[in-house]
């Protein structure tokens, strides 16, 4: 049964060089369920899920450069390993012990690396339409580095799109994703800021730059093989293709692993929040 949540509270965590903002609901004494969103989304992507997680203190953060969180400094970029450090700093700043993590897409990759590296901080890991890591062959190293460096130069010349109103921005997000209108609206409204001439995106433009390096397949396999905490995957039947292939390749490498398919796409947790929450709670309560 859904709990009555009208307005989840805003939350902010000071990490020194960064402030992580987010949304939270539930009693402060309850066990934490930490929710980690995907690339160019924000904490609002977990709003549909929150009413179906009663008895839990749900905390959904905005990654740096997303939502209301601060951007990295002018001389920095968004490297994958730095997301893992952001997560470690969040735990240290709050003095958290082990918590249950629910992570979507890019957030799932970050949480997987974190669980492999810091298993003492993770009770369980629920991945939503995400498994394994984006990786590349060693032979692509030079090409990847070149593309990454050039994208930084090109990125400096680009201007953010300007929308005359929120509706225009929502329609633009719907056009480039499989998001339903109502789900796109939740994410977009948290990801916009008002300017003199209209609305533009809060997200840091550097998030769109090509990574100058990738994990090799061997490195990705080692990280997955080193995850000892219980892991479940919830994925959309019409989700990302890389999840289906990742399930076959990486699934057998986990020590404790289950998976479920639900009707929906990449944001299946927004399309099927009640079913997703039921799977999360059942998985957590088994531990």
> Which tokens sit at 274?
């009640």
Please check whether residue 129 is in contact with residue 240, taking contact to mean a CB–CB distance below 8 angstroms.
yes
Query: Which of 69, 105, 112, 124 is an active site residue?
Result: 105
Q: What is the DSSP annotation of the chain?
A: -----SSPEEEEEE-SS-EEEEEEES-TTSPEEEEE--TT--GGGGTTTGGG-TTSEEEEEPPTTSTTSPPPPTT----HHHHHHHHHHHHHHHT--SEEEEEETHHHHHHHHHHHH-GGGEEEEEEES--S--B--GGGHHHHHHHHHHHHHHHHH-----BSSHHHHHHHHHHTSS--HHHHHHHHHHTEEEETTEEEE-S-GGGGSPPS--B-HHHHHHHHHT--S-EEEEEETTS-HHHHHHHHHHGGG-SSEEEEEESS-TTHHHHSHHHHHHHHHHHHHT-
- Annotated catalytic residue 205: no
The residues assigned a catalytic role are 105
């Amino acid at each position: 049964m859904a709990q009555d949540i009208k307005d989840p509270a805003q939350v902010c965590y000071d990490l020194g060089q960064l402030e992580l903002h987010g949304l939270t609901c539930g009693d402060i004494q309850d066990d934490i369920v930490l929710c980690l969103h995907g690339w160019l989304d924000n904490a609002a992507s977990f709003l549909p899920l929150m009413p179906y997680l009663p008895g839990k203190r749900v905390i959904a953060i905005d990654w740096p450069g997303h939502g209301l969180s601060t951007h990295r400094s002018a001389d920095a970029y968004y490297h994958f390993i730095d997301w893992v450090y952001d997560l470690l700093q969040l735990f240290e700043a709050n003095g958290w012990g082990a918590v249950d993590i629910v992570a979507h897409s890019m957030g799932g990759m970050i949480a997987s690396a974190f669980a492999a590296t810091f298993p003492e901080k993770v009770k369980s890991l629920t991945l939503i339409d995400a498994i394994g890591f984006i990786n590349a062959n060693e032979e692509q190293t030079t090409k990847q580095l070149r593309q990454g460096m050039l994208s930084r130069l090109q990125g400096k010349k680009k201007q953010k799109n300007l929308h005359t109103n929120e509706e225009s921005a929502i329609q633009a997000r719907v056009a480039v994703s499989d998001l339903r209108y109502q789900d796109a609206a939740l994410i977009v409204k948290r990801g916009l800021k008002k300017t003199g001439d209209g609305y533009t995106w809060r997200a840091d433009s550097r998030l769109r730059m090509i990574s100058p390096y990738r994990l090799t397949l061997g490195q990705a396999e080692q990280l997955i093989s080193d995850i000892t905490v219980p892991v479940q995957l919830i994925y959309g039947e019409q989700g990302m293709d890389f999840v289906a292939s990742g399930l076959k390749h990486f699934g057998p490498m986990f020590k404790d692993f289950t998976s479920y398919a639900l009707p929906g796409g990449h944001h299946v947790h927004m399309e099927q929040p009640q079913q997703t929450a039921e799977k999360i709670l059942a998985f957590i309560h088994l531990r």
